[in-house]
């Protein structure tokens, strides 16, 4: 149904089945036209492009994000080239005269976990880490840890990158945080434009960060932070975009001033082409009546077809017994198989790649992602190629044979 929008990517990958849609989603053809339009605007406006960029393109992108997430106001959205920049800006809002206490999980993406670990090594941060597994008790354990209080920041994912597990009640977790002074942030990168998400009941309390590289299909360089309305935090890491109005005045004063709204979290110069691409995707969706709800239903149907076919495949590793999450509503747009070792996951991924089936793995977990560029014929083709793998044997399968070391 949606393949018509991805002609260029599909032609460039003829014969290949890319089930890495959770990370490297195909871009619709409209994004190429958007990239050219940015170039043409730069030639037409030269230095004057920034004023039009913020008024027209950034304004449209803010409205699109607010519409998808049911935010109170488009003015509560600010853009950055990547989520790591936004994470650092959030950290820079925390007290500087003592180690800060941060509640998080053991499954956050490296944009947060690497930075938090480095700050902990410097004794600037004290981490309290809640394990995601077992998932059936995770939400309750996270709420209980949050309710204990005493944290400067609570940071967790909406959908966890290494399992696909989705927190189905963001409101309950956010509401469990007792101290109004605690900064609450949700990493929504694997949820935005994938899972229907209504932040209207939490956006006044929690930050939400995501971007266009994955399910929004807009590529790199267009990430955003949804900021609680009326937020008065003053990030120490601050760029000149947070003082655009001051450039035409008398220059910086003795004190560093912050604008009202989300722009107080703005950084500095970035490549705006990602904003153009993101707007082109959102315009395409509006033109064809595509909604997150419709995309989610499409992907769920593809996942169900894949799992049904998997039952009769008799693959010794890729079967429902090794599937981390199967029930509808408990995972995002990728399925994760937990294998015996990282080496086995890599070997099976390599075997699949030789047959033109592209997946990826994180440690001992192999991931299959499903996207809008897929249809039922792709699922059936994937299963046929996997059946060939079972029949012919492979490095990954031989490793699982009885008597193998």
Q: What is the CATH number of the domain that holds 332?
A: 3.90.1150.10
Three-class SS of residue 129? strand
Q: Distance (Å, rounded) from C-alpha 283 to C-alpha 30?
A: 9
Phi, psi of 12 (to 5 degrees): -70, -15
List of the chain residues with pLDDT < 50: 395, 397-405
- What's the pLDDT score for residue 243? 87
- What's the pLDDT score for residue 402? 37
- What's the pLDDT score for residue 63? 98
- 155 in the same domain as 47: yes
- What's the pLDDT score for residue 250? 58
- What's the pLDDT score for residue 398? 47
- What's the pLDDT score for residue 404? 34
- 384 in the same domain as 244: no
- 218 in the same domain as 107: yes
- What's the pLDDT score for residue 405? 31
Tokens of 14: 């003829």
Which of 67, 167, 62 is CA-nearest to residue 107? 167
Q: What is the pTM of this model?
A: 0.93
Residue-wise pLDDT for 128-163, tens only, equals 999 999 999 999 999 999 999 999 999 999 999 999
Q: Distance (Å, rounded) from C-alpha 370 to C-alpha 374?
A: 7
User: 113 lies in which domain range?
Assistant: 30-285
Q: Distance (Å, rounded) from C-alpha 233 to C-alpha 265?
A: 9
Residue 114 in domain? yes
- 193 in the same domain as 176: yes
- 336 in the same domain as 249: no
- What's the pLDDT score for residue 392? 79
- What's the pLDDT score for residue 123? 97
Distance of CA 38 to the CA centre of its chain: 24
Give how many domains the chain has, as a whole number.
Answer: 2
Tokens of 99: 């180690």
| Tally of CB atoms within 10 A around 301 | 14
Q: Distance (Å, rounded) from C-alpha 380 to C-alpha 305?
A: 8
For the chain, the residue count is 405
Which of 25, 98, 13, 78 is CA-nearest to residue 238? 78
- 57 in the same domain as 25: no
- 214 in the same domain as 85: yes
Residue-wise pLDDT for 30-67, tens only, equals 999 999 999 999 999 998 898 889 999 999 999 999 99
- 324 in the same domain as 274: no
Tokens of 212: 């266009």
Q: Where are the alpha helices (DSSP H) in 106-260?
A: 110-121, 135-147, 170-176
């Amino acid at each position: 149904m949606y393949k018509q929008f991805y002609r260029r990517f599909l032609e460039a990958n003829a014969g290949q089945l890319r089930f890495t849609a959770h990370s490297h989603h195909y871009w619709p053809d409209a994004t190429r036209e958007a990239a050219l339009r940015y170039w043409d605007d730069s030639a037409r406006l030269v230095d004057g492009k920034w004023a039009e960029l913020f008024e027209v393109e950034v304004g449209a992108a803010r409205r699109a994000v607010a519409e998808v997430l049911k935010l109170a106001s488009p003015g509560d959205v600010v853009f950055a080239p990547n989520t790591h920049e936004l994470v650092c800006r959030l950290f820079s809002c925390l007290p500087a005269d003592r180690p800060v206490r941060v509640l998080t999980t053991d499954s956050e993406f490296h944009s947060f976990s690497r930075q938090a670990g480095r700050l902990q090594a410097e004794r600037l941060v004290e981490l309290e880490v809640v394990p995601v597994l077992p998932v059936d008790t995770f939400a309750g354990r996270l709420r209980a840890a949050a309710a204990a209080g005493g944290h400067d920041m609570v940071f967790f994912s909406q959908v966890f990158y290494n399992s696909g597990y989705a927190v189905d009640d963001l409101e309950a977790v956010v509401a469990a945080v007792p101290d109004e002074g605690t900064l609450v942030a949700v990493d929504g990168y694997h949820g935005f434009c994938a899972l229907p998400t209504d932040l209207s009941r939490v956006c006044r309390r929690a930050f939400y960060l995501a971007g266009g590289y994955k399910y929004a299909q807009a590529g790199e360089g267009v990430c955003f932070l949804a900021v609680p309305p009326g937020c008065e935090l003053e990030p120490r890491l601050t760029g000149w975009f947070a003082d655009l109005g001051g450039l035409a005045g008398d220059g910086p004063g003795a004190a560093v001033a912050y604008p009202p709204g989300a722009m107080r979290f703005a950084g500095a110069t970035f490549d705006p082409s990602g904003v153009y691409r993101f707007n082109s995707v959102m315009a395409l969706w509006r033109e064809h009546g595509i909604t997150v709800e419709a995309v989610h239903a499409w992907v769920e149907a593809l996942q169900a077809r894949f799992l049904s076919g998997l039952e009769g495949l008799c693959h010794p590793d890729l079967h429902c017994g090794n599937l981390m999450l199967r029930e509808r509503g408990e995972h995002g747009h990728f399925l994760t198989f937990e294998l015996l070792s990282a080496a086995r996951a890599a070997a099976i991924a390599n075997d699949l790649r030789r047959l033109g089936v592209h997946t990826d793995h994180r440690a001992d977990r192999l991931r299959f992602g499903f996207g809008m560029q897929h249809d039922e014929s792709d699922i059936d083709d994937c299963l046929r190629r996997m059946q060939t793998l079972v029949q012919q044997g492979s490095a990954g399968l031989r490793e699982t044979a009885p008597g193998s070391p």
